[in-house]
Amino acid sequence: MPSSTADRRQIMAADPAATSALGRALGAVAHAGDLVCLWGELGAGKTHLAKAFAAGMGVTETVTSPSFILMAEYRGRLPLFHIDPYRLASAEDALAGGLIDERQREGVTLVEWPERLGDALPAARLDIRIDGTGDDRRSITLIAGSDDYRRYLEVAA
């Protein structure tokens, strides 16, 4: 986990439009092989942010939560693998089910409910922690797990 303030940035999103703008900016700087984890309680706006992130990557298809299918793939300037292991009991279930595979090195993997993957998550990733639900303002904290992910912090300024 990063320890310096250079590895994290906090943003206050006043409304869904601000969250969308952030998501589009983040998606625009995504690189092949990136892992982006969306943390937050039910109703925090993880799927809303995922949709905007996909739009920033040039995805034109309708992006929905993959809760029941576990993973959805979309085409943009890079492949986008949108994973939601909420219904899985453990990381072993995710690995056994093929949710994480070598194809994801060619695109960007966006994970809602990453806590379900536990120790299977590598340290090198971007964590996006969303605090707030309903009509409340959102506090969104970006945490770069390695130097490669600092570019996300720069566009969120």
Which pLDDT belongs to residue 96? 47
pLDDT at 87: 58
The pLDDT tens digits of the residues spanning 110-142 come to 999 888 777 778 899 999 999 988 778 899 999
What integer pLDDT is reported at residue 129 of this predicted model? 97
3-state secondary structure (DSSP) of residue 7? helix
With contact defined as beta carbons under 8 Å apart, do 149 and 37 qualify? no
- pTM (predicted TM-score): 0.86
Residue 36's contacts (CB-CB under 8 Å, 6 or more residues apart) are 26, 30, 53, 108, 109, 110, 111, 125, 126, 128
pLDDT in tens, 50-99: 999 999 999 999 898 766 567 788 999 999 999 887 555 555 555 545 55
pLDDT at 88: 56
Question: Which residue type occupies 9?
Answer: R
pLDDT band at 2 (very low <50, low <70, confident <90, very high): very low
Do 56 and 76 meet the contact criterion of CB atoms below 8 Å apart? no
What is the pLDDT, as a whole number, of residue 147? 94
Q: Is the pLDDT of residue 102 over 70?
A: no
- Closest C-alpha among 81, 74, 71 to residue 60: 74
CA-derived radius of gyration, the chain: 14
Phi, psi of 75 (to 5 degrees): -105, 130
Strands 71-75 and 126-131: unpaired
Query: Is 141 in a helix, a strand, or coil?
Result: strand
Domain 9-155: assigned CATH number: 3.40.50.300
How sure is the predictor about 39, in pLDDT bands with cuts at 50, 70 and 90? Answer: very high
